[in-house]
Structure 1
Amino acid sequence: MNSFSLLLEKLHEWLGDQPFSIWFQFSRDRHFRLIFSSVHESAATMTPPVTVPFSDNDASHMRYGYESLRSQQMYRFFYEKEGQAVICLEQKAKQQIILTSDQWDLLWFGIRLLLAEEKVTAKAEESKKLFEGIRSISATLDLHQIIRGIIGNALAVIPAADAGLLHLYDSTIDRLIPKATVGFHDTVFQDLKMRVGESIAGKVFEDGIPRMYKTSQETTLAMKDISADNFHSLNHAKTLRDLNGLLCVPISREEKRIGVLVLHQFHQENVFTKYDLDLLQGFADQTSIALQNAELYAEVKQAYEHMAGISAQLQAKHDDLIHRNHIHESIKQLSLQNKGAETIVKTLGKMTCHPIYFADWLEQKMYPEKSVLFFSWDELHVLLNKRRQPVLVNLFSPTSGDVQLFCLYPLINGSIFLGCLILHLEERGLSDLARMTVEQGSAVLILDLVKKQSISSVLYKRAHDLFQELIASKGNELFDRARSMGLQSQAKYYVIYAHLTQCHDLALLEANIHRLITRWKWEFSKTQVFVYGFHNHVTLLIRSLGSRDGKDIRERLQQASYEFELGKVASLAIGVGSMASGIEQISKSYEEAKKAAHYLTNRSRSGVVHYKDLGVNRLMLNQSQADIDAFIHDVFAPFGQDPEKYLEWEQTIMTYMKCSQSPQLTAKELHIHVNTLYQRLRKVEELLQIDLRNPEDLLKLQLACHLRQEG
């Protein structure tokens, strides 16, 4: 039998059949609450038919007392600082029921026991909710769920509260922002932003002092400085006129406050107590731990995701390296097996599933052979000469009206443009694997081209030695060497000597020499006998096939010089020796070709000159340009006495020599009278201190005029 049953049994025994009820009013109760009524078994859940008058008696000086009213008898029991209980006889008894001292004490202790049991039950509920909060912190990482659970537990063990709100501080906007709520409408999350120091929540966050308000008046007064927008937001989420009390405690992490936890009383009858405030602080501490765990979890999760991302990247790079290594090995084997550029290009096409072409800039040749050249060689050089990255080009076909997309991969060795890979792309573009394949193929192809160029340089050196030995040989030795080189003793030959200047990059110079040699090999394929490059010049030996050779050779050589000048890669001075009738005259033609080329080089000129066309200039071949300029200056220096007439006198004497000293032709050419011409000529003779009738003076002046015109 429990204590309440024992208490009722004693009351029935002592009060007989008199109807009675039991009422409690303790520290957190605003009014007396009905505990039991012998009239209605469910009285605890019904509005009592009578009320219990309030008593001002204090339990500090008495335990119990009796009050007799017109319609009621009341037995009051007082408990110091806790409240009181009343046993009320519902109707006036015919005679007063007098309790003995022992009965009063027994009833007082019985009710005290009921109160203790109620407290134990409340404490057990508090412990249960606290443990639930502790378990939830470690059982789940859903921060919103944890916080809502903590607020719900706080509401369950603090009966005076029926709504809760959690604010966290956002340093980016310097405001307290609602993060979780129970009992408020979700609209509170939209607009509520509390300043530090504003209203109750702002003040508690500012100074860290918990606050408790038990009445509507106290709460309203404490919230008087809330902004209109925040008041409207709160009032829209929950009608504030019903607010009867409030608890607010800070949420802190060590010494730093991070938010506040607020409980509200709207409809509960109980009153907040200091114990409730302390209990809420415990829930706030749980919230702080939950927030810290959530942050740590977020950091760990972010670190994990970052590591997972790095792992995925490393795996992708690992796979990429494996692919690259496989592709590189496949293409390298082709290069090591000397399969050549065409085989490498075809293999790249199969690997990428794209049509690929290779334009060899040095040899001006397309691979695969007989492929269509979508771009001119000049266009390729202009597009790619200074680039290191691929270039996308759209080509429009006027005949079909279609636009074709090409990707050009330049092949560069240092500063040398070797050529490019041309990929014909479709709408889907180039995949990463295909791009990687092309990049690897480009590197191997460059190595193949450099290897080919290096071998060519060795062969050129050997060819140079053979040719020098040939032109230095005499008699039978000459015929033996000529025979070993495939030369016919009585055939007619031309020696061509090309000198490359204005190309200071040695690697670029070597590439240009290789390019020029390749060009002349296929341009003179029918007559070319021997060609090589050495240092900064190229020597070409061709066989004459007829009388029209000279003009045809000159045109082809002039075109090569023009293209080099146009591309600004080098300046090309080309000398052509006289036709050698037999192998004995090859050395003479070689020397003539070399002198003719140096004649252009000494005058910083490019182009083509035949030795036989040099005429009197042959006498100046061994003279430096500085000596020639000094000679011209010495002859014409006296004209400087009158700078205003200098050009007139120079033009007069130059035209006079050009017209073979004919006064009539000269006067006509200058559009002057012949007498005026004679006057000028006398002035020229006077200034230059010469006599035009003196052969020596005439020759000196003719030579100066010729050299001035040549310069």
Structure 2
Amino acid sequence: MEATQHLINRLRQTFSEQSFILWLLASHDRQFRLLHQEDHHVGATPSVSTPREAFQVEGEMYRWEESAEMVLLRFFFPEEGQAVVELASEAIVVPSSEKIELLWLSFQLVLAEETIRTKTEEWAKLLQGIRAISSMLDINSIVREIIGNALAVIPAADAGLLHLYDPAIDRLVPKATVGFHDRVFQYFKLRIGESIAGKVYQDGTARIYRTHPETKQAMMDISSENYRILNDAKELGDLNGLLCVPISIANKRIGVLVLHQFHQDKVFTDYDLSVLQGFADQTAIALHNAKLYADARTKHDDLVKRNRIHEALKQLSLQNKGTDSIVRALARMSLKPVIFADWLEQRYYPEDSPIPFSWEELSLLLGNRRNPVSVRLSSLGIGDQHVMLYPLGNGSVLLGCLLIPMKDDRLSELQRVTIEQGSAVLTLDLVKKQSLSSIMYKRTHDLFLGLVDSKGADLQERAQVLGLHPYYPSLVVFAYFSRCHDLTILEANIHRLVTRWKWEFSSSQILVYGFHNHVTILAQPKAATEIKEMVARLQAASEEWEQGAEASLSIGVGSVYTGIERIGKSFEEAKKAAHYLMNRGRYGVARYGDLGVNRLILNQSQEEIDAFVRDVFGPFWEGQEKHQELEHTLLTYMECSQSPQQTARELHIHVNTLYQRLRKIEELLLIDLRQPEDVLKVQLACHLRRES
């Protein structure tokens, strides 16, 4: 609410005593919702009617729309939504563009605050739902709780069904409903592959539908009998959207969880689908363990311990105790040594653990696997030892891995459940941490650009906020990721790199953040040796990513400048150096100060450079083979700074032979090596050949 109040105060300052109404359309809203209404005695009060969504022109930040009754000031935020300030048309005073841009930034803060608040509430509801499910051991009680908890986690939904597979009849049957008439329990039975739920159970792929037409199209193959039963339980003509995820235990699917939208104003998002999948995974564990309790009363003590374990782990996560506390608790509860390898931050927990694998070995062992793997280690004097690997992932992204060293490759049922529940809690914790990091990166990006664009007292104030010393030398590093087309993998790579560089450059870095497909470092090194060491570490990181084949990392380093007002110049130089590498398909590190004459061609495409080289060297490549000798002679002559004696020694020929070749070169290329302009052209062409 602080950001909203800040926005309202700024609007009061901007529009003085005039009445205004604030409307907000976030990415998950179907229509604008009223954010605030301000009435004063000056000017007529605008009518409260919901505005329509406007089409945004590319690059447009705001727009004035005037009519006889009112004035609308629209603000656009790509991928985040829109906002509208509604004003009475009487006595309107148009503010300056600077004030409007400040209002735009204030609205963006409101959207960011709303995003953080929504995510926090969702995680709290999700964990609250898990607690309710895990506190029951009777399967009939569990299935009655599942849909209600799912709807609490995802407010865009208002009805739902839980289907479980019945092997006796080879059908999916409803086990719990909310928002449907109870008759759906009696006769509704889906074949595998029938309608949306049948397909999700069949292939294990979660599905999302946001509109009535696409939902109806996806349900076209449902049998007429099942359609009639479902329509009697709930009018399907009002169905506006649907989420469906599989419920699985290891590689075995046991059912599907479906949420429906009939009357809500919000829109389902991909994030809702991932949250529902996480909820379904927790539900699968609860259902499986409840079934174990019903089948074997003798395991009662173990199941009670399981609940206590889950509660303890959940509390650690809710109380933000940290990864190390969760891992140590897992070790105590499972009575096994447990090590967690955090793939994104490249750290092991506990930090004093004996490490059985390097990061490269873990990468080879896990690959794209998301199921537990048993690895046997052989060592002289110790014998065979097994290590169980439990990968933790979010979609295609590997988040980390739990390692459990043991004498054989077996875990008891209670130990296995403990590790799986610990894996789920750790995964939720890591995903939340990554989401919060992405939000913080964007804020840091805005702060840094604000610093670069500021001058005078505003610059001094922003520098003080960031902890910059105004008279220390500063430099900027710009690292660009290419060849990474999977956005989730790109986000994970950004997080890994930012975490790594925060640790490696802790003595000199002021800030490190990732944004879109690049990472930026602002540093104030205290000595030249720090700069040299930094470049070496940057080069090592680029080579590591190239070997991993996930992405290519081109890194530009700006010049070192004294004075905070020149940070922007170092930033531009770093970007140019990085794009110099990227445009030539190279990885590695390029310092802007080392580019030399290449600065003159930073804005030239590789095609233009290749064309220039062909224009100069083309006559060598046409005709007889002896031209290769002349080409080699010219290249050597230029490398030897046009010294005839040194060139002759390098080519192992007499200097008179060299002069004869140089005359043939001049005739062939139509140049005069005594003319500075021709020499410069040839020198540049030779340099570009070596660079390409």
Q: Normalising by structure 1, what TM-score?
A: 0.54
**Deviation string, structure 1 residues 626-678 (Cα, Å, up to 9, x no partner):** 11111111221222321523432322211111111112211222223323322
Alignment partners' CA distance in 1, 2:677 and 2:409: 82
**Residues 17-96 of structure 1: pairs in structure 2 closer than 5 A:** none
Aligned match of 2:353 in 362, 365, 371?
371
Q: Which amino acid aligns with 2:344?
A: L
Q: Does 1:592 align with 2:573?
A: yes
Residue number among 646, 649, 672 corresponding to 2:653 in the alignment: 672
Distance 2:348 2:674 in 1: 66
* Aligned equivalent of 1:497: 478
Tell me, in whole angstroms, the C-alpha distance in 2 between the residues paired with 1:447 and 1:643: 69
1:359 aligned counterpart, secondary structure: strand
* Equivalent in the alignment of 2:432: 451
Instruction: Report the secondary structure of 2:664's partner residue.
Output: helix
Specify every segment of 5 or more residues in structure 2 that has no aligned partner in the other structure, as ranges: 1-289
Determine which of 309, 312, 333 is the counterpart of 1:351. 333
CA distance in 2, matches of 1:355, 1:625: 55
2:510 aligns with one of 529, 541, 552: 529
SS at match of 1:573: strand
* Aligned AA (1:390): P
2:621 maps to what in 1? 640
Summarize the alignment of residues 620-699 of structure 1 with structure 2, pairs less than 5 Å apart.
Answer: 620-699=601-680
**Aligned partners of 1:322 and 1:540: how far apart in 2?**
50
Maintained 8 Å contact 2:554/2:586 = yes
Corresponding residue number in structure 2 for 1:381: 363
**Structure 2 partner of 1:64:** none
Q: Which moved more, 1:598-607 or 1:543-552?
A: 543-552
Q: What is the CA distance between 1:623 and its match in structure 2?
A: 0.9
Q: The residue matched to 2:660 in structure 1 has which SS?
A: helix
SS at match of 1:345: helix
User: Aligned residue for 2:458?
Assistant: 477
CA contact (8 A) 2:374 2:409 kept: no
**CA distance 1:689–1:450, change in 2 (3 Å):** same
Aligned to 1:180: none
Alignment-derived partner of residue 295 in structure 2: 316
Aligned to 2:563: 582
Give the drift of 1:345.
1.5
Instruction: Measure, in 1, the Cα distance between the counterparts of 2:487 and 2:597.
Output: 35
Aligned length: 400
In structure 2, what residue type is equivalent to 1:316?
D
1:393 is aligned to 2:393: no
Matches of 1:427 and 1:563, distance apart in 2: 34
**Take 2:646 and 2:399, find their aligned partners in 1: how far apart are those partners?**
56
- Answer yes or no: is the 8 Å Cα contact 2:388–2:409 preserved in 1: no
Identical amino acids, percent of aligned pairs: 60
- Output the CA distance in 1 between the equivalents of 2:602 and 2:295: 68
Q: Which residue of 1 aligns with 2:316?
A: 334
Q: Secondary structure at the match of 1:548?
A: helix
User: Which residue number corresponds to residue 243 of structure 1?
Assistant: none
- Once residues 588 and 495 of structure 1 are traced to their aligned partners in structure 2, the CA distance between those partners, rounded to angstroms, is 9
Give deviations 1:477-511, integer Å, cap 9, x for gaps.
11111011111110112211111111111111111
Partner letter of residue 512 of structure 1? N
* Separation in 2, partners of 1:503, 1:317: 49
Cα distance between partner residues in 2 of 1:410 and 1:648:
59
For residues 368 and 314 of structure 1, do their structure 2 counterparts lie closer, same or farther at Cα, with a shift above 3 Å needed?
A: closer
The residue that corresponds to 1:136 in the other structure is none
Q: Under a length normalisation based on structure 2, what TM-score does the superposition of the two structures give?
A: 0.55
**Who wins on radius of gyration, i.e. which is larger?**
1
User: Shift of residue 467 of structure 1?
Assistant: 0.3
In the other structure, the counterpart of 1:508 is 489
Give per-residue Cα distances to partners, 1:570-593, cap 9 Å, x unaligned: 111111111121212111111111
- Match status 1:564 vs 2:569: no
8 Å CA contact retained: 2:370, 2:391: yes
Indicate yes or no: 2:573 matched with 1:573: no
Runs of at least 5 residues in structure 1 that lack an aligned partner in the other structure: 1-310
Q: Please state how far the C-alpha of 1:456 moved relative to its aligned partner.
A: 0.5
Shift in Å, 1:334? 2.9
The 3-state SS of whatever aligns with 2:492 is helix
Runs of 4 or more off by more than 4 Å in structure 1?
311-314, 317-330
Shifted more, 321-330 versus 422-431: the winner is 321-330
CA distance in 1, matches of 2:550, 2:631: 37
> Aligned partners of 2:474, 2:409: CA distance in 1, in Å?
57
